[in-house]
Amino acid sequence: MTKRAALVAMAFLGLGLGGCAGIRDHRGFVLDNQLVQSVQAGVDNKASVTKALGRPTFTGQFGDTDWYYVSQQTKQIAFSRPRIMDATILHVSFDAAGNVVAVEKGDESKLASVDPMGGKTPTLGHQKSLIQEIFGNIGSISQPGLPGSGGQ
């Protein structure tokens, strides 16, 4: 192998390995520990929390008394899916008057992973065939002036 061919091979090898380098990314809330520590139970309310931390990533399912701030560090290699390397969840609880009751910091163990099932959403009920879907509505749509339509 000549010196030139060896250099070309090394260049292609370097480019090939360079494509395998991981891409690091940040998703969600940018966590600032100083601002998080400034939010205190019994002192702050929803307005002061919004000024200090901004709007939450999401709120509680059954009301506006729980605010969640989610921060994730991810890494992706080539064409694979991003993996969560580090996650922090800040949970701020409010009472009925809107005052802070508790501030809790958690990790990725509190995150739920939702994966679609084969690109198809499962539904409850009767499974119809293609023929039933195409011809199933024949006669079920009433038109004015036809018997049984109720309209005149």
Distance CA 87, CA 84 (A): 7
Closest CA to 83 of 35, 142, 23: 23
- Determine, yes or no, domain membership for 14: no
- Determine, yes or no, domain membership for 125: no
pTM above 0.85, yes or no: no
| DSSP3 helix / strand / coil % (the chain, rounded to 5) | 25, 30, 45
- Determine, yes or no, domain membership for 131: no
Domain count, the chain: 1
pLDDT value of residue 17 = 60
- Determine, yes or no, domain membership for 104: yes
- Determine, yes or no, domain membership for 44: yes
What is the span of the domain harbouring residue 98? 22-110
- Determine, yes or no, domain membership for 100: yes
- Determine, yes or no, domain membership for 152: no
pLDDT under 50: residue ranges of the chain: none
Q: Which run of H or of E encompasses 104?
A: strand 100-107
- Determine, yes or no, domain membership for 28: yes
